[in-house]
Amino acid sequence: MEPDRKVALESIRLIRKRKKSRLLSSFLPGLGQMYEKRYLTGLSFFTLFSFPFYYWYLLGFPVNYGSITLAGAQLLLYGLQVLDAGKGPVRETSPCEDFCPAGVKIPSFMACCEEGKPEEGFGIFFLSAPFPFTLGELCPAPCEEKCGILPERPLRIREVHREMGRLVLEKLEIKKREPFLPLTGKRVAVIGGGLAGITAAYYLASAGVHVDLFEREKELGGIINYIPNFKLNRELVKKEIEYALSFKNIRVFRETEVKEKPEGYDWTVVSVGAGLEKRLREVEGEKVIYPLEFLKNPPDLKGKRLAVIGAGDTALDVARLGVRLGADVSIFYRGEAEKVRAQERELSRAISEGVKLYTGCSVKGIEGGELLLSCGRFSCDYVVPAVGFEVDRETVEKLSGERVSVTGDAATGMTTFVEACQRARETAAEVLKKLRLSDRAWFTVDIYREKPRKISGENLFIVSESSLCQHCGTKVRS
Buried b (16+ CB within 10 A) or exposed e, 214-232: bbeeeebbbbbbbbeeebb
pLDDT, tens digit, for every residue of 99-149?
Answer: 999 999 999 999 999 999 999 999 999 999 999 999 999 999 999 988 888
Q: Where are the domains of the chain?
A: 3-87, 95-172+452-467, 187-275+391-443, 291-389
444, with CB counted inside 10 A (0-12, 13-18, 19+), is middle
User: What per-residue confidence (pLDDT) applies to 59?
Assistant: 67
Asked if residue 295 lies in contact with residue 275, where contact means CB atoms within 8 angstroms, the answer is no
Q: Please state the pTM of the whole predicted model.
A: 0.90
Positive or negative: CA dihedral 471, 472, 475, 478: negative
How far apart CA 81 and CA 205 sit, in angstroms, is 33
pLDDT of residue 72: 83
Residues making up the chain, counted from first to last: 478
* Res 475: pLDDT: 47
Give the bridge partners for 305, in sequence order.
Answer: 328
Q: For the sheet containing 363-367, what is the strand order?
A: 363-367, 370-373, 376-379
pLDDT one-digit tens code per residue, 11-53: 999 999 999 999 999 999 989 889 988 889 889 988 888 887 7
End-to-end CA separation in angstroms for the chain = 32
Q: Is-same-fold flag (187-275+391-443; 291-389)?
A: yes
pLDDT digits (tens, 9 = 90+) for 232-252: 999 999 999 999 999 999 999
Cβ atoms of residues 396 and 270 within 8 Å: yes
Cα dihedral 440, 441, 444, 450 sign: positive
- Report which of 256, 246, 224, 10 is spatially closest to residue 130, judged by C-alpha positions: 246
Task: Report DSSP state, residue 143.
Answer: G
- E strand map for 265-420: 267-270, 276-277, 305-309, 328-333, 356-359, 363-367, 370-373, 376-379, 382-385, 389-390, 404-406
* CA nearest neighbour of 337 among 359, 322, 356: 359
Low-confidence stretches of the chain (pLDDT < 50) are 475-478
User: Quick one: which of 325, 101, 393 has its CA closest to 308?
Assistant: 325
Cα separation, 159 vs 465, whole angstroms:
9
The CATH architecture of the domain made up of 291-389 is 3-Layer(bba) Sandwich (3.50)
pLDDT of residue 212: 97
* 388 torsion bin: left (phi>0), alpha (psi -120 to 50), beta (else): left
- Distance between CA atoms of 428 and 444, rounded to whole angstroms? 10
- Distance, CA of 65 to CA of 346 (rounded, Å): 69
CATH T-level topology, domain 187-275+391-443:
FAD/NAD(P)-binding domain (3.50.50)
The pLDDT score that the predictor gives to residue 478 is 32
Name, in order, each residue with C-beta under 8 angstroms of 261's C-beta and a sequence gap of 6 or more: 268, 398, 399, 400, 401, 404
The answer to whether the beta carbons of residues 164 and 172 sit under 8 Å apart is no
